[in-house]
Structure 1
């Protein structure tokens, strides 16, 4: 990624000007998602339809109140969803699909940091450490809403999905054919590895099935958010202190993530970006067989919800 001043200049130059973009931000009420929402609203100067999907209406209202006033026909809205449940994700996806004409930008950033042991959701996948929130909900939103992104692409408009997690950690060791739900060999580290690996695989699988849409797995770096809210008090204080010393702000993260969303050099297909915005080349790629295993497993978890 270029110097931050160049990022700002590129975002201003590449912001959509001839259209009114529709952006759906899952996890958009805090952290990186909030940063992206604020940056998108800034560069579109209120000429956008921005949907914040999250748990806290209070947080969403605070964000919406801070955004540029929407111009005629544009709007900002909040949709409540606990994304740990695929049933809830399905309800919201169907609602959005029934009333939106298109989606230009789908940003997926819900997150939680916890040291707790495995806690299965109603779908039988891990909630607490990472996997339901950091992967399955993202997969289901991306797959269910992909037809709306295809509509934007067919009209000659941007159509991009960005999942913000950790594009450098995943790899073939994160695919366990006999333990795809991570029931047998659970640990916080393994849960993190599975979530990042599955995001990698989903990006590749979705790009293959929706070739007119761009799918990006981005790494935001260390960002000063409240993702550590569920850690024990002492560890929370320590991680907060360390984070304040080495992290970037939510706004800076938003600018860096929007740089990928706006970048005209990113074609359709699957893309993996480092925290500097460069192509991720420092880890082994998943095989086509691994990608298909992740696709099959994910559809089994998410279908019919």
Structure 2
């Protein structure tokens, strides 16, 4: 656990040498991504941020960009429109970034929402939440690896459920396509475990990149409402009961923003970044070396050793091979 006082003290040390010069935020038009962008801009450093979102988000995004420019004129925010639930669009967006940049210091991924509605597939035949929370996130990493590997302290932060992995995932139906196999909790646990096992594999192959799979705890972002008919009984339950509970126990926006800025910059994870004198974090292999860090809402590392050992032995290669097969046409 890292106290909020320690978080703020660390973030106050962010300067031109330790701030990400080029950052890519996928899912930064709302929620934790948007909060973290604002916190980064408020450091006053010179940074270029690529903000990626859907056409329907552009008007609000442009207003947000104007606010950020007033806060810190040295920060440059570049809007890229893209429907990143689609793998083809994700590839196109990455090609745009690669045509403009020779480096990426930070890739921050927050797309997705609780999959508690009916199963809905994209035009590419992938369940939409799985596409947002897993496939397109991994595709962004794949495409931007070459730019991440060109900087001194690159970092990938995927915000979902690091440390909450369970072993009861369906290896025979990773995409949960069999009749009756898709369900909200089952799907979310499946996508979390797939994120972690694949990010750990990528971390082992790219030892100079710090990977973080973050569990943010409860943050009132409105994501539990997405993906369902607003007039349905489930939407009514969410609105009347679940959202007030989330709001009651959630971090406020400022603390969530600062904690994720800390995860994006601190040498607590992997030893490179803003200097850290506290206890070093341990990665998913329970080592203090670089790698994949499973970071909880208190910014503590939770290696989840028992579950991870089983997933590493029995699931990682199957998930990796399946992911390669799905993403191959878009690499």
- TM-score with structure 2 setting the length: 0.84
Q: 2:274 aligns to what? A: none
Match of 2:138 in 1: 139
Shift in Å, 1:69: 3.0
8 Å Cα contact 2:25/2:109 also seen in 1: yes
**Residue of structure 1 in register with 2:24 after alignment:** 24
In the alignment, structure 1 segments of 5+ residues that lack a partner are none
**Which residue of the partner structure matches residue 226 of structure 1?**
222
How far 1:59 sits from its partner (Å)?
Answer: 2.3
Equivalent positions of 1:115-194 (< 5 A) are: 115-127=116-128, 130-152=129-151, 156=152, 158-174=153-169, 176-184=170-178, 185-194=181-190
SS at match of 1:51: strand
Q: CA deviation at 1:78?
A: 1.2
Q: Tell me, what secondary structure is at the counterpart of 1:287?
A: helix
> Deviation at 1:253?
1.1
| Of 54-63 and 110-119, the range deviating more from structure 2 | 110-119
Distance in 2 separating the partners of 1:17 and 1:180: 42
Describe the superposition over 1:148-197 as per-residue Cα deviations: whole angstroms up to 9, x where unpaired: 10011xxx3x20000000113323322x3321211122211111011101
Determine if contact 2:197/2:312 at 8 Å carries over to the other structure: no
**Given that residues 39 and 258 in structure 1 are in contact (C-alpha distance below 8 angstroms), is that contact kept between their aligned partners in structure 2?**
yes
Aligned positions, number: 295
Matched, 1:201 2:197: yes
Structure 2 residue runs of 5 or longer lacking an equivalent are 271-289
Partners of 2:116 and 2:185 within 8 A in 1: no
1:131–1:194: 8 Å Cα contact kept in structure 2? no
- Relative distance call for 1:69 and 1:192 in structure 2 (3 A) is same
Task: Encode CA deviations 1:243-298: one digit per residue, 9 max, x unaligned.
Answer: 22111123321111111121113223111111111111445102145222222211
In structure 2, the CA distance between the partners of 1:224 and 1:84, relative to structure 1 (3 Å rule), is same
- Residue 246 of structure 2 corresponds to 243
**2:283 matches 1:261:** no
How far is 1:99 from its partner?
1.2
Once the two structures are superposed, the pairs formed by residues 21-60 of structure 1 within 5 Å of their partners are: 21-43=21-43, 45-55=44-54, 56-60=57-61
CA contact (8 A) 1:103 1:159 kept: yes
Give the CA RMSD over aligned residues: 1.8
Aligned equivalents of 2:41 and 2:19: distance in 1?
Answer: 14
- Distance, in Å, in 1 between the alignment partners of 2:205 and 2:86 is 25
Instruction: State how far apart, in whole Å, the 1-side matches of 2:25 and 2:177 are.
Output: 30
**CA distance 1:27–1:212, shift in 2 (3 Å):** same
Q: Is contact 1:150-1:159 (8 Å) kept?
A: yes
Question: For 2:77, what is the secondary structure of its paired residue?
Answer: strand
Contact 1:14 1:264 survives alignment (8 Å) = no
- Residues 274 and 18 of structure 1, relative CA distance in 2, 3 Å threshold: closer
User: Could you tell me which residue of structure 2 aligns to residue 284 of structure 1?
Assistant: 307
Partners of 1:51 and 1:76 within 8 A in 2: yes
Task: Give me the whole-angstrom Cα distance separating, in 2, the residues matched to 1:18 and 1:37.
Answer: 16
- Give distance in 2, aligned partners of 1:194 and 1:159: 27
* Secondary structure at 1:53 match in 2: strand
